[in-house]
Amino acid sequence: MPVFKAPRGTRDILPEEACYWDWVTSVSKNLCRNYGYGRIETPMFEATGLFSRGVGEGTDIVEKEMYTFEDRGGSSLTLRPEGTAPVCRAYIEHGMASLPQPVRVYYLAPAFRYERPQAGRMRQHHQFGCEVIGDASALIDAEVISLAWQFFEKLGLRKLTLKLNSIGCDKCRPGYIETLKAYYEPRIEKLCDDCAVRMKKNPLRLLDCKESACQYMADNAPRSADCLCPECLEHFNSLKGYLDLAGLEYDVTHRLVRGLDYYTRTVFEIQPESTGSQSTIGGGGRYDRLIEQIGGRPTPAIGFAAGIERIILNLKDQNVCVPGTGSARILIAHTGEEARSEAFSVYSALQCSGIGAIIGAEGKSLKAQLRQANNLDMKMVVIIGPEEMEEEAVVVRDLETGTQKKIDRRLLADALSAFRINISG
C-alpha cells in the first residue's frame, strides 16, 4: 500500500493546536462585530481571469503560483490565491453598490499558492481579511489600519512594527516609475537576474528584492512618497495625521510596494521583530481601480489580510498563553464496574454544568488512569473506587500540588471551585 501524506506545503490542524485557531477566529469575529463588518464567504475557486486581471499578469502569484485547472466543462478555474479579487467580484455580482456605502466585510478563508514551502510559507494557508468598499477617504485607511493593529494586539502579540507607504495613483505613478527606471538604468549590470526581468515587467518590484546587492540600490532609490501628485500627497498626509491621533506608530518605508498589482496610494504591512521574507503577518492597502478592472463601476476600496499560520507561529514564539476554551481539565478515574457507572453520572453532571472532563480509560488500573491524566496535562483527577461508592464520596486530587481530599459526592462542583481550577481554561 502507498503511504499517503498531506500534500507538500499543507498541514493538518491537530487537536493540540486547535485552541490557537479558536483564539484567532474568535478575536477576529469579535473585533469585526465591534467595527461593523459583516462576514462574507466566497467560493474556494473562481474563473482564472478574475485573478489574472485583478491581481495582475506580471505578479509572482499569477505567473508562478496559481493552482489553475480546467474542469470537465472546459472552464479554466483557479483555487483562490487571495481574497480581495473574489470579494470585489461578489460586490459587483450582488449589486452591493446600491447598499449604503462603504460596505464593510471580513472573511476567514484558505488561500492557495504554489510556493516553495518553508516555515511560515505554505501552499495552503489561511487568511483573516477585511475589505471596505465604496469610500475613498483617508479616514477609512486609518480605520482599516487601526483594525489590523488592534487585531494583533488583542491576540496578545507584541513588538510589532507598522510599515507604511504611498505608491501614488494612475496620475503620478507613471512619472515615478520613469524616475525609478532612470535611476536603475545605469546600474542595470549590477542587478540580479530577477531584477533584470522586473526592470522590464514591473519596475516597482525592484524595490523589494531580497538579494543583498540589489538591496543597497533599492535603499538609495528615488522614493514614491516624494513623487506623489497633490491629491495623493494630501491623502497620505491626512492618513498619517489620523494615525498620529490614534496614537499608532508607523515607519514610512519607501521600499514597501507589496506584491499584488492592484494597489493605489496607501500600502502597509505589519511585521514582528524577526526579520526575513516570511515574517510579514499582515498586509494590505488601497485598491481604487480593482473593481473597475474586473468589470464594475469605478469604486474606491481598501483592505488587509493576515496569515493565520504565521500568526500562530508568532503566538508560540512569544509564548502567548491562549485560552484552551472548553478543553477538559479533569479526568474521572474509576475502578470497578459499579464505579464506572457512577463515574459516568458524575461526568454527565459536570458536563451539564459546563465543566470540561473526560472519563479514564475502561479496564485500566488507577495507576494507569493517573498516568493518562498526567499525559493529557489534566489539572485534576476525580477518583471513584469501591470505597468511595460505599461512602457516596469521591476523592479529588490536584495534580499540580499533589494534594487530595475525600469529599461528599454532592459537593463535588463546590470542591472543584475551592481548588480554584480554572475550569473554563
The residues binding ligand HAM (CB under 6 A) are: 82-84, 113, 115, 120-122, 125, 127, 129, 131, 260, 280-285, 287, 303-307, 309-310
* Nearer of residues 129 and 324 to ligand HAM, judged by Cβ: 129
* Nearer of residues 60 and 194 to ligand HAM, judged by Cβ: 60
Q: Are 302 and 7 in contact (CB under 8 A)?
A: no
Distance CA 359, CA 362 (A): 8
Q: Are 124 and 290 in contact (CB under 8 A)?
A: no
Q: Are 304 and 164 in contact (CB under 8 A)?
A: no
* Nearer of residues 223 and 286 to ligand HAM, judged by Cβ: 286
Query: Shortest Cβ distance from residue 292 to ligand HAM (Å)?
Result: 16
- As a dihedral over the C-alpha atoms of residue 179, residue 182, residue 184, residue 188, rounded to 10 degrees, the angle is 160
Instruction: Work out the angle between the directed axes of helices 15-35 and 138-155 (0-180°, nearest 10).
Output: 150
Query: Shortest Cβ distance from residue 92 to ligand HAM (Å)?
Result: 16
Query: Shortest Cβ distance from residue 109 to ligand HAM (Å)?
Result: 11
Query: Shortest Cβ distance from residue 300 to ligand HAM (Å)?
Result: 12
* Nearer of residues 82 and 143 to ligand HAM, judged by Cβ: 82
Secondary structure (3-state) at 375: helix
The residue of the chain with the least Cβ separation from ligand HAM equals 307
* Nearer of residues 283 and 360 to ligand HAM, judged by Cβ: 283
Burial class of residue 2 (count of CB atoms within 10 Å of its CB; 0-12, 13-18, 19+): exposed
Measured CA distances, 401 to 44, 397, 424 (Å): 49, 9, 19
* Nearer of residues 113 and 409 to ligand HAM, judged by Cβ: 113
Other beta carbons within 10 angstroms of residue 371's beta carbon come to: 12
Query: Shortest Cβ distance from residue 126 to ligand HAM (Å)?
Result: 8
* Nearer of residues 304 and 347 to ligand HAM, judged by Cβ: 304
* Nearer of residues 134 and 285 to ligand HAM, judged by Cβ: 285
Query: Shortest Cβ distance from residue 302 to ligand HAM (Å)?
Result: 7
Which grid cell is 71?
A: 474542469
Query: Shortest Cβ distance from residue 353 to ligand HAM (Å)?
Result: 40
H or E segment and range at residue 77: strand 76-79
* Nearer of residues 195 and 256 to ligand HAM, judged by Cβ: 256
Query: Shortest Cβ distance from residue 331 to ligand HAM (Å)?
Result: 36
Strand order in the sheet with 251-252: 38-39, 103-112, 124-133, 301-307, 282-286, 264-272, 160-166, 251-252
Q: Looking at 156-289, list the stretches that DSSP marks H as alpha helix, in order from N- to C-terminal side.
A: 173-184, 193-201, 212-219, 230-245
Distance CA 271, CA 279 (A): 6
Give the amino acid at 385: G
* Nearer of residues 115 and 135 to ligand HAM, judged by Cβ: 115
Query: Shortest Cβ distance from residue 305 to ligand HAM (Å)?
Result: 4
Measured CA distances, 121 to 8, 135, 368, 422 (Å): 11, 33, 41, 36
Q: Are 46 and 85 in contact (CB under 8 A)?
A: yes
Query: Shortest Cβ distance from residue 249 to ligand HAM (Å)?
Result: 19
